[in-house]
Amino acid sequence: MKFNVAQLLKSTAGASREYGLEEDIAGIDPDLDIVGPLVGKVKFVRTGTGILVTGHAHTEARVACRRCLALTSVPVELDLEEEFHPSIDMITGATLPLGDGEDMATRTDAHHILDLTEVVRQGLWLALPMSAVCSPDCQGLCSNCGANLNEGPCGCQRVEEDPRLAVLRGLL
């Protein structure tokens, strides 16, 4: 997800370029299990100080079901909006210092290459669902033995509850 933006940096503010994305991002983060390509569109707009990147993309990730812990694939929608700043002045060729609050991930390199990889990686973590389920009728795990109840009953002996709590059980 690298783009040469030298010509766009030479343009006046307001100039723009649009690109389609279809990238295999399976190894973008060792803790993310991405199972599909990242597909979408990005738009680069020249600003007074850099390049504003906006776009929308989608992919598919494999996560653990919050009820039974089985791996399940979920769609992930990602919106991008980040301003990138040049690291080299286009006119003089001088190295530009990092501004306040700037991150190296949002800077172009010395050859005017804009790399979206880190921004996409961070965006994927934010876009993942907080609690995915493999199916709406997932039975989860037995609280006693930990067996997956989707595969059938576990055969645990249910512990008799304290009769003094029967009144509270009636409230549920």
Whether 154 and 134 share a structural domain: no
Percent of the chain with pLDDT over 70: 96
Please state the pTM of the whole predicted model.
0.79
User: Are 2 and 109 contacting, i.e. CB atoms less than 8 angstroms apart?
Assistant: no
Whether 158 and 108 share a structural domain: no
Please identify which residue in the block is written with the tokens 């600003």.
Answer: 47
Q: Which of 58, 51, 41, 57 is nearest to 113 (CA)?
A: 51
pLDDT value of position 95? 72
pLDDT value of position 159? 63
Q: Residue 103 carries which side chain, given as an amino acid letter? A: D
Residues facing residue 18 across a β-bridge: 43
The b/e string for 83-106 (b: 16+ C-beta within 10 A; e otherwise) is ebbbbbeeeeeeeeeeeeebeeeb
User: Are 120 and 78 contacting, i.e. CB atoms less than 8 angstroms apart?
Assistant: yes
| Pairing of the two strands 2-4 and 16-23 | unpaired
Whether 95 and 170 share a structural domain: no
pLDDT value of position 52? 96
Domain containing 70 equals 2-138
Whether 109 and 151 share a structural domain: no
Whether 100 and 56 share a structural domain: yes
Whether 134 and 84 share a structural domain: yes
Q: Which of 64, 76, 59 is nearest to 31 (CA)?
A: 64
Low-confidence residues of the chain: pLDDT under 70: 91, 100-101, 158-160, 172
pLDDT value of position 8? 93
The total number of structural domains in the chain stands at 2
Whether 132 and 62 share a structural domain: yes
Whether 134 and 82 share a structural domain: yes
Whether 127 and 156 share a structural domain: no
pLDDT value of position 128? 94
Whether 104 and 169 share a structural domain: no
Whether 163 and 92 share a structural domain: no
Whether 118 and 166 share a structural domain: no
Degrees, nearest 5: CA angle 40-41-44:
150
Cα distance between residue 83 and residue 85, in whole Å: 7
User: Are 42 and 80 contacting, i.e. CB atoms less than 8 angstroms apart?
Assistant: yes
